[in-house]
Copies of this chain bind each other. A is one copy, B any other.
Amino acid sequence: MTAGVHVSGTTRLYAVLGDPVAQVRAPMLLNPLLAGLGADAVVVPVHVRPGDLADVVRGLTRAGNVDGLLVTVPHKAAVCALVDELGPAAAVTGTANAVRREADGRLLAENFDGLGFVRGLRAAGRPVRGAQVFVAGAGGAGGAVTAALLAAGAARVAVRDPDAARLAGLLARLGEGRLTGAYAAGPGDLAHAGIAVNATPLGMRPEDPLPFDPADVPPGALVADVVMKPHETALLRAAAALGRPVHHGIHMLQQQVPEYRAFFGWPAQRDAESPQ
């Protein structure tokens, strides 16, 4: 378990916005880090229904001691319309998972999901350069993962999404961002993938169907999930039962921590590079 955090009148706040929000890991991951850095700051969950996102973002960012927002499903795209500026990954993906207030009061949003995912693959010893990847989901996480994989040198990324307009929009933005190599997945792409990624929310609820069948993935190919809760999703359990190597969703968040630290200007780390 995590150590407790101390809250007083001087404490600075970071809010994690999601719907649902009960599953978010950021408070348990980041609060011990902040405490270890000696920062008087706490990350709290904020449950925001889609119709309330604009009001909640406005209210929180008007508060003088709210220094940043972390944004998760289903708000990663909608939040981009509520800020003044998008960082490069947010501009390409049309989604963001972090918002900070600049000194002049303007709001800047950026997306660190993709960078965290690629860092996670590297930390697990999986080469990205030259890889052939299948990504299920062209939403916030799928776009971020695809853009970062391409920027990191993946050869081809086949993206599948039942929402054709969403998929086309992502491919267009990737092209505008000069990230080439992504395309709409066809029937054979899963069978040729070296890495197959679930970037949909499927797996958060016990009744969800699998985002894809891990039996269709070649033996030796990595089956990766971006869903963090449950830790062992039905997809990863099925893949492991078939002998496929698996990669858990928590890595994407853990490997974003150094990026958050830089983005939010947290003090330099005292101990290890990565939290446990």
Residues of A within 8 A of B (CB): 1-11, 13, 16, 18-19, 21-25, 27-28, 31, 42-49, 52, 55-60, 62-66, 229
Contact = CB atoms under 8 A, between A and B. Distances in A.
20 contacts: A2-B6, A4-B5, A5-B6, A7-B42, A7-B43, A7-B44, A9-B22, A11-B45, A13-B46, A21-B64, A42-B42, A47-B64, A48-B63, A48-B64, A49-B62, A55-B58, A55-B59, A57-B59, A59-B60, A60-B60
Contact of A44 (B13, B24, B48): B13
A12 to B, nearest CB: 9
Q: Which has the most chain B C-beta neighbours within 10 Å: A45, A46, A56?
A: A45
Given A4-B5, A7-B43, A43-B7, A48 B27 contact: no
B55 A62 contact: yes
Nearest to A47: B64
Nearest to A51: B62
A99 to B, nearest CB: 14
A7 B5 contact: yes
Given A5-B5, A46-B63, A10 B22 contact: yes
B62 A56 contact: yes
Given A7-B31, A59-B58, A46 B66 contact: yes
A27 B9 contact: yes
A62 B59 contact: yes
Contact of A48 (B31, B45, B62): B62
Contact of A62 (B25, B45, B52, B64): B52
A45 B4 contact: no
A204 to B, nearest CB: 12
A52 B55 CA distance: 12
Contacts of A43: 7
Contacts of A63: 46-48, 52, 56
Given A56-B62, A59-B57, A9 B21 contact: yes
Contacts of A60: 56, 59-60
A18 B52 CA distance: 23
Contacts of A45: 7-11, 13, 65
A6 to B, nearest CB: 5
Contact of A27 (B3, B4, B11, B16): B11
Contacts of A10: 22, 45
Q: Which 3 A-B pairs have the closest CB atoms?
A: A59-B59, A4-B4, A47-B64
Given A7-B44, A44-B13, A45-B9, A21 B65 contact: yes
